[in-house]
Amino acid sequence: MAPSLKSLVSFHLAILVLMQAQGKATAACSDCFVQSRAAYYPNSDENGTEIGACGFGSFGATINGGDVSAASELYRNGVGCGACYQVRCTNSAYCSDKGVTIVITDQGSSDRTDFILSKRAFGRMAQTTDGANSLWSLGVVDIQYRRVSCSYPNKNITIKIDENSNHPNYFGFVIWYQQGKKDITAVQLCETQNFVCKLLERSYGAVWTTTTPPSGPLQIRMLFSDDDGDETWLVPLNNIPQDWKAGQTYDTGVQIN
C-alpha cells in the first residue's frame, strides 16, 4: 500500500526536526571538550620559555601569570599563538574539574601530546599541592581541553616593535594581549596621512613584518576570524607615532570580546 500524504508529511517533519537538533548539537560542540594528552616543560622553572616559536620573548614566559603552553597541531603555523584553552587532567584522584586556562606561546609536542604546559600550569590542574607533585612525577597525563576566550582585565591589545626594526628597511612587531576567542588571521599597516594600507606577512608565530615600512604615524588593523566564518576588522584608537622606536610597546587603546 502506498504511504498516505499525511504520513509523508509527518516523516519529512520528523527529518527536519532531527536535522535542526543535529545542527544545534554541532554548534554547541564548539564548547565541547576534546580528549588528548599533555606534558610539561622538563628542566624548566615555574613559567614558560622565553624563546618560544610565537616570538613573544620574555613576555611569553610570564603572560597569564605563567600559565602558558606549547602546542603541536593547535599551533597552526602561528595562527594559534595567543589562543587560550581550558585544560584539565582526567585522573579524579589528583585533578580538579576546573583545570587551568593556558595561553599558546610556543610550538612543540611530546609522546602524542597536544600541549606541553609550563610546570606551573601543569601543577595547577591538580586539586592540591600533593596532587601537583603527583602530576609532575607522572610527566604526561590524559587531559580534556577546549578553546575559551582570552581575558586580560585592564589591558588593551598592545604592539611590541621588533628590536631589529629600522626605518626605512624593516618594520616588525608582535601582538600582545590578544583577547576574545577569535584568531588574528590578517594584519594591515596603514599610513594615517593618506589612508593607504598594505597587508603584512606573518613572518612566524605572532610576528608580522614588512621590508618597506611607510613614513609618518602608522595604524595597525587586525582581522579577527572564527571557525564559523565570522570576521571583524579591529581599528585601534591609538596610532603608532611617527618617531616609533625599536623595542618599544604601544597601546592600541582597544580590547575585543
Predicted TM-score (pTM) of the model is 0.86
Residue 45 is predicted with a pLDDT of 63
Residue 44 is predicted with a pLDDT of 60
Of residues 64, 80, 246, the one with CA closest to residue 172: 246
Q: How far is CA 34 from CA 88, 164, 247, in A?
A: 10, 40, 38
Look up residue 159 and give its three cell numbers.
604592539
pLDDT tens-digit profile, the chain (257 residues):
555 545 544 544 444 444 454 444 444 577 899 999 999 987 666 677 778 899 999 999 889 999 999 999 999 999 999 999 999 999 999 999 999 999 999 999 888 899 999 999 999 999 999 999 999 999 999 999 999 999 999 999 999 999 999 988 999 999 999 999 999 999 999 998 888 899 999 999 999 999 988 888 999 999 999 888 889 999 999 999 999 999 999 999 998 87
What is the C-alpha separation between 146 and 150, in angstroms, rounded? Answer: 12
The answer to whether residues 82 and 160 touch, using CB atoms and an 8 Å cutoff, is no
